[in-house]
A = this chain, B = another copy of it.
C-alpha cells in the first residue's frame, strides 16, 4: 500500500510551487509555512516510496558535498543516504586535506567544489556567531558564481546545524510530532516543554533548543523553554519564538524550573546545552587556540553544571505531565543515567520506554534532507515524484 500512500501524499502537494527553488535552507524562520509543510509531505512521500521499492533517483550523477566541521553520526549518514536515494555521488569535503589550509578564501572554495554540485550540506556549530555566517558566505559565493556564469547550476546550501538553527532536526521533530499526534492541526494547543538537561560534558550547541522554540511556536503549540538561571539561548531567537506564538495563536513562555515546564506537558524535550555567554567565551578561546584557558573554562563550566544534576528527566517528573503520558523526545545521542553516564539528561527507564519511537524518528531525517534537496533543486518537485511513482521502477531486485 506504500505506493498508494505515496500517491495520496503527492496529490496533497498538488501543483505546489516552492519558494525554495534555486535557494538555500539555512533557517526554518526564513521559509514560508507552505514550504515547511512541503518538506514534511515530500519527506513522507520519499519514505513511502522507499518502502514500496520505488526508485527515487532524480539525478544520474552530480555531487552532494558535505562539510562537517564537527562530529556527526546521524546527520552524516542522513545526508549520505539522501544523496544515494536521489542518485547523487557523495563527496565529503575534508578541509584539512584541502587548500583551505593554504589560505584559500571561502568564496573561492565554494565555487571550486561546485561545478557539478547540486547541494552542499554544512555542519558548523562550534563557534557562536560564526557557524551561520560561514554558511551565509558560502551561499553568497555560489549565488555570485552562478550569476557570473562560473557555475552551470547553483547548488543549494543546506544547514546541517549551525550556532543558531538545526532545521533538519527541528523539521524531523515536527514530522515525528505530526505522525504521533495524527496531523499538524492536532498539535494546536499542545504543550511542549523544551528544557535544559544535565550532562557530564559541556559545550553542546544551543541550536536544537533554538530550532524547537522558533519552529513549534508557528504551529499553534504552547512552547515552554526551561533552563537554570544563566543558561540563556540567543535573546533574538527567544523574541522570535514569542512573535511566532502571537501570530499562530500558540504561546511561548520561559521558566527556570523543570517541574513547572513538565506540568501538564504533552511533549517533553530535555536536552543539554551550554549557556550562550559561555559559548561566546569559548569561541574566543578556540579562535585564539588558548588550550589552557579552554581547559579552565571547561572545568569551571562542568563544576557549574554539576549544581544542576537535578535537571534530569526522571519518572517522577514524567508523572507531572499530561496524564503522565507525555511524549519524550531527543535528537540523540542522549546522556542516559546509568547507561552511558553516571548522571545525565534522562533516567534509563524513561529513555528505554521511548527508545523505539526515538529511533524511528531518527529515520525521518534522511527524508527531510532529501525533501530539502527536491525543493531547492526542482521547480515542480510534486510532478517529478508523480512521474517516479507512476513509473515505479524498482530500486532493488527482489
Q: Which parts of A46-66 form the interface with B (CB within 8 Å)?
A: 50-51, 55-63
In whole Å, how far is A182's beta carbon from the nearest beta carbon of chain B? 18
Docked Cα-Cα span, A362 to B71, in Å, equals: 31
B-contact 0/1 string along A57-80, CB 8 Å cutoff: 111111100001001111011101
Please pick, from B58, B340, B397, the residue contacting A58 in the complex, using a CB distance under 8 A. B397
A100 beta carbon closer than 8 Å to chain B: yes
Whether A378 contacts B398 by the Cβ 8 Å rule is: yes
In whole Å, how far is A42's beta carbon from the nearest beta carbon of chain B? 14
A257 beta carbon closer than 8 Å to chain B: no
- Say which one of A31-39, A90-98, A131-139, A305-313 lies at the interface with B: A90-98
Whether A387 contacts B395 by the Cβ 8 Å rule is: no
CB-nearest residue of chain B relative to A59?
A: B396
Please give, as numbers and ranges, the residues of chain B lying within 8 Å of A222 by CB-CB distance: none
Please pick, from B78, B100, B105, B201, the residue contacting A339 in the complex, using a CB distance under 8 A. B105
Docked Cα-Cα span, A78 to B117, in Å, equals: 11
Docked Cα-Cα span, A393 to B73, in Å, equals: 36
Whether B112 contacts A73 by the Cβ 8 Å rule is: yes
A104 beta carbon closer than 8 Å to chain B: yes
A341 beta carbon closer than 8 Å to chain B: yes
CB-nearest residue of chain B relative to A383?
A: B397
Q: Which parts of A340-398 form the interface with B (CB within 8 Å)?
A: 340-341, 356, 359-360, 362-363, 366, 378, 384, 387, 393-398
Please give, as numbers and ranges, the residues of chain B lying within 8 Å of A247 by CB-CB distance: none
Whether B112 contacts A332 by the Cβ 8 Å rule is: yes
Please pick, from B116, B335, B340, B394, the residue contacting A81 in the complex, using a CB distance under 8 A. B116
Tell me which of A99, A105, A148, A149 has the highest count of chain B C-beta atoms within 10 A of its own C-beta: A99
Q: Which parts of A96-112 form the interface with B (CB within 8 Å)?
A: 97-105, 108-109, 111-112
Tell me which of A102, A112, A366 has the highest count of chain B C-beta atoms within 10 A of its own C-beta: A112
A16 beta carbon closer than 8 Å to chain B: no
Please give, as numbers and ranges, the residues of chain B lying within 8 Å of A335 by CB-CB distance: 103
Docked Cα-Cα span, A89 to B79, in Å, equals: 12
Whether B384 contacts A116 by the Cβ 8 Å rule is: no
Docked Cα-Cα span, A62 to B394, in Å, equals: 12
In whole Å, how far is A327's beta carbon from the nearest beta carbon of chain B? 17
Please give, as numbers and ranges, the residues of chain B lying within 8 Å of A395 by CB-CB distance: 59-62
CB-nearest residue of chain B relative to A83?
A: B89
A145 beta carbon closer than 8 Å to chain B: yes
Docked Cα-Cα span, A341 to B396, in Å, equals: 48
A14 beta carbon closer than 8 Å to chain B: no
In whole Å, how far is A168's beta carbon from the nearest beta carbon of chain B? 14
Tell me which of A102, A149, A393 has the highest count of chain B C-beta atoms within 10 A of its own C-beta: A102
Docked Cα-Cα span, A318 to B77, in Å, equals: 50
With contacts A80-B89, A90-B89 taken as known, whether A71 is within 8 angstroms of B101 at the C-beta atoms is yes
CB-nearest residue of chain B relative to A2?
A: B152
Docked Cα-Cα span, A71 to B87, in Å, equals: 28
- Would you mind naming 29 contact pairs between A and B with Cβ atoms under 8 Å apart? A55-B61, A57-B60, A58-B397, A59-B396, A59-B397, A60-B395, A61-B87, A62-B395, A62-B396, A63-B84, A68-B97, A73-B109, A77-B115, A80-B91, A84-B89, A89-B90, A111-B359, A112-B332, A112-B362, A115-B362, A115-B363, A115-B366, A116-B366, A149-B356, A149-B360, A150-B363, A378-B398, A384-B397, A387-B397
